[in-house]
Amino acid sequence: MTAIYVTDSDANTNVGMRRYLVADIGQGGSVSGKAITVDNKGAQVINLFTLSSGKEQWTKYFAGK
């Protein structure tokens, strides 16, 4: 996994989704809105939950193309 997408619909801005980079910096995964470097380690991912992978919806979507 190289990035996660997070909905941002409650921020009162035009941005509806944000992309956060994911990297393993030796202490587990980290996420950041910028490049993850030695100086910018991002935020450590403690838990990651998903309600659904969306596989069924994506399969239907791409089957229609």
Range 20-44 average pLDDT: 65
Strand (E) or helix (H) holding 55: helix 55-63
Query: Over 80: is that where the pLDDT of 58 sits?
Result: yes
Model-level pTM? 0.44
Per domain, the residue ranges of the chain are: 3-63
Query: Over 70: is that where the pLDDT of 7 sits?
Result: yes
Q: What are phi and psi of 10, to 5 degrees?
A: -105, 10
Burial of 5 (0-12, 13-18, 19+ CB in 10 A): exposed
**Residue 35's pLDDT is what?**
60
Range 14-19 average pLDDT: 74
